Structure 1
């Protein structure tokens, strides 16, 4: 499998360095301004690092934030960018309205009857960019029609360029530049602009490569998007996904193991004869015993866990006082034993 094909697995298409160079030619900053750059699909961090270095070279104090769900790519990104969340964006906690600009290069694929490019655009550009922030959106040209409504409703000063001839034919990629619109009511003029842009994007999504100018079109002296200084600090940027190494590190730093080991030395543990239950144990008995620690949880290649769930039951009863039928809902606890193994998760009933 060719390298590009391999990296494109699961919809992952890293931006070629030369295309990123042309993208950056249309971005500028104020000298000495503090800016925050967000890449929610940063891969190995190469494009985000290239972007940050360019902004620093142009005089900004740029801080980079990346999100990457694939473990090996996230570990590579961690070595070259300032902040990395090793998870999906759904599992990331981020400060709202705190990012100056976003480079969005989402998976090129469909899931649950919706294009992922649309899903990422909708979920990520609503809360995290403040008014005036700049979006750089990388997607296939034919997907523009799916994203046209949100692009036109949330962004102004929209311009679209296609990849250069060297790289366009592979995935038909285009770059959308836009400035985050202020939130709130819109004037009649703004609504007409939105409708016009939306329809234009839809129409051009069906056309070929001549529908948009190439990124190497020499117009960057006239077309410049100014990335604004961040209006508020990024106080929260973290993964909510708990990894095994995170647990071990936390336990180690809290010296919990030392405390437990010290307590164990004070215990007088003696063995006693096995006790046979009067009747056959039910699932609830086993679950209660496991949850209390009376049974070993680690059993070879699988793990047993006692789980208590709240079960809802609804039935129709006749109310003698009112003379009417009424729906009665009750809740009661139900205890089960759950098995975790390589073969899957199984509930014993």
Structure 2
């Protein structure tokens, strides 16, 4: 089927955490025979910070942030069997929704694909007249990259006909074991940009444990932390290129995942970082959130910390040998159960069920995904 996919960016990860998700899923959908065109606006300097060029498995259309170009690219939706509007595109999102719904063929499958459900739902809750909230019943289905039953229930209450999580996953071609690099040597590494809704949790789960363990080396990567007070045993790298992520994950004894506060509260929201680390065979320590056991087995395939003291205790008891074994088990699990090939097969089945008139068969059954 021909898919017109309107999202933030496929070509750049620059301030765009959804890029990994888009790439893995769309590549896998293309392998199943779908013909995908991805439309992305030239905003936030992403085109100046591309980390891939247009791939052979997806046509990419970059449009300028003006009304004329928006009309031009939304008119192409008329030729698609499936029209996807992703959340957080970054230019006139509300207008994009209306133009796509107007341009799409009456026979096309119209999908709202939410790559940040906690934020989107919180925004829609602010007003009964929110543009997306009003448009939601006109979409045939909502797909999300996380959230589980709480998100499904919330979307159904707002009028979504069908809502199914298509979770983050691993793209083995992109994230895999790599040789360690001396510059990334540490006891614990954390990679993440400084964001207001995650900063307090970074203080709790990373900065405080570093202060409590002065004899251990901590590694911090990501933009925005330069003026943040931190102890001398934290080595700050700044922005880490995507080409170095595998080495960053493979080199430290363990790496840390810290969820945004709203995602941790919602649960069932594994970040791409979880699968990137596991796919590299890293020993992952993650903050606690409901549903982690659907993806990795705590204590065997992942270590789970409920607070900063848990991080301290886990590191004090973690040898390189034990960390290596946890990483190997995590890699085996994600390769078996959590690749984008797995996720694309579920999406493909949803598409086919809809076309054959047998949906919404999967509904909110999370066990179909995890």
TM-score (norm 1): 0.28
Q: Which has the larger radius of gyration?
A: 1
Q: TM-score, normalised by structure 2?
A: 0.26
- Higher strand content, 1 or 2: 1
Q: Which has the higher helix share?
A: 2
